[in-house]
Amino acid sequence: MKGWLITNAFLHTHKFTEIHLWLTEAAKKVGVELIVKTNAEVLVKLDSDFNTVKEVNSDDNPDFVLFWDKDVRLAQYLEMKGFRVFNSSKGIAVCDDKSLTHLYLQGAGIVMPKTIVAPMTFTNIGYNNLDFLSQIEKELSFPIVIKECFGSFGQQVYLVANKQELRTKTAEIGAKPMLFQEFIPSSKGKDLRLQVVGNQVVAAMYRYSEDGDFRANITNGGKMKPYEPNQKQIDLAIKCCKVLGLDFAGVDILFGKNMEPLVCEVNSNAHFKNIYDCTGINVADSILAYIIKRICIGCK
Ligand SMILES: Nc1ncnc2c1ncn2[C@@H]1O[C@H](COP(=O)(O)OP(=O)(O)O)[C@@H](O)[C@H]1O
Ligand SMILES: [Mg+2]
C-alpha cells in the first residue's frame, strides 16, 4: 500500500519535521510506503479538461493521502480527484478556524464556554470602530479570554483583565479573525488533551502550568501527566470528532465549575510528540493502523 504524506513546503521547524518522520516510520513498520510530498510539489491545477478521475501520473497514484497541513484548497482538490484524504478538507478547515469549530459544535449541542465571535472586517480597513466591545463587556465578565481564530500552542490566546485591556488587545489583533470567550476559573492553568483516532480515545494527558499562566499548553511552559479520562470526557471528545467529521484529532477539554467537561478546541493535526513523552503511546502507529483499516474496508 502506498500513501502520500502532504506537508507544508514552507514550514521547516523541528516540531513539524519530527512529526513527519514519526508518521513515515510508523508507516514503514506496517509495510506502507508513505511518500512525503509538499504542497508546493502537488499544485492545484484547474482547467476545462479537469479530470475527476485520479491524478497525475498513474504510477505515482497513492492509495490514500495523509494530509498533515492546513492547505485546505489542496486537500479539497485531492478529494475531487478521488483520493481518500485523512483528515478531510472540511474537517481540517473547520478545526483550523476556532470560531467555525465552535459554531459546528454548538450546532450539535456540545457544551463549551460562552463564546462571542468578533464581527468580520477587512484587512485594509481593520476596526475603525470598537463599539461592539460594549456588548462583549455586557455578556462576559472580566477577565475575558480573547483568541485569534487561527493560532496554536497557546501563542494567540490572551486574557484581558478590564475594559482598557480589552480595547487595546482587540485593536492590536486588528483585522485578524478573533473570538471572545468566558474565562473558566475552575480550569485556570489546567486542561486535558484527549487524542482520538477512529472514534476511540487512544491517549490522554492532563496539562498544567506551574508559573501562574492560565494556558496549559506544553509549548508555553506547561507540564503534563498521563490521565485516565472518565466516560463523560471520552464521550465529549469522540462526539466532537464525529460532528466535525474527523478521522483523528487532539481534543482540548476544560474543567467546568462542577468538573463537567467543556470543549476548548479541536486540533485536526495535533502534534503527538508530547503525548508520547507523557504516556509512551505512539499516536502515529494508531493513525496508520486506522488508515489501513479504513482503506481496506473501502477496497471491499
Ligand atoms: N475559556 C477558557 N478558560 C480558561 N482557560 C482557557 C480557555 N480557553 C483556553 N484556555 C487555556 O488556554 C489554552 C490554549 O487555548 P486553545 O483554545 O487550546 O488554543 P491553542 O490552539 O493555542 O492551543 C488551553 O489549553 C487552556 O489551558
Ligand atoms: Mg489547544
Residue-level pLDDT, tens digit, the chain, 300 residues: 999 999 999 998 999 999 999 999 999 999 999 999 999 999 999 987 776 655 554 557 899 999 999 999 999 999 999 999 999 999 999 999 999 999 999 999 999 999 999 999 999 999 999 999 999 999 999 999 999 999 999 999 999 999 999 999 999 999 999 999 999 999 999 999 999 999 999 999 999 999 999 999 998 899 999 999 999 999 999 999 999 999 999 999 999 999 999 999 999 999 999 999 999 999 999 999 999 999 987 554
> What's the fold here for domain 115-183?
Dna Ligase; domain 1 (3.30.1490)
Spatial separation of the C-alpha atoms in residues 122 and 202, rounded to whole Å: 41
Could you tell me where in the chain the CATH 3.30.1490.20 domains are found?
115-183
Out of 94, 178, 210, 215, mutate this one to test ligand 1's pocket (max ligand atoms within 8 Å of CB): namely 215
- pLDDT at residue 157, as a whole number: 97
2-92 to CATH, choices 3.40.1280.10, 3.40.50.150, 3.40.50.20, 3.40.228.10? 3.40.50.20
Could you tell me where in the chain the CATH 3.40.50.20 domains are found?
2-92
Q: Which residue has the least CA distance to atom 10 on ligand 1?
A: 215
Which is the closest atom of ligand 1 to the Cα of 113? Answer: 1
Q: Is any ligand 1 atom within 6 A of the Cβ of residue 95?
A: no
- pLDDT at residue 58, as a whole number: 55
- pLDDT at residue 233, as a whole number: 98
- pLDDT at residue 48, as a whole number: 77
Spatial separation of the C-alpha atoms in residues 140 and 147, rounded to whole Å: 14
- pLDDT at residue 300, as a whole number: 47
Could you tell me where in the chain the CATH 3.30.470.20 domains are found?
187-282
Which is the closest atom of ligand 1 to the Cα of 190? Answer: 27
Q: Is any ligand 1 atom within 6 A of the Cβ of residue 216?
A: yes
Spatial separation of the C-alpha atoms in residues 272 and 4, rounded to whole Å: 19
Q: What is the CATH number of domain 187-282?
A: 3.30.470.20
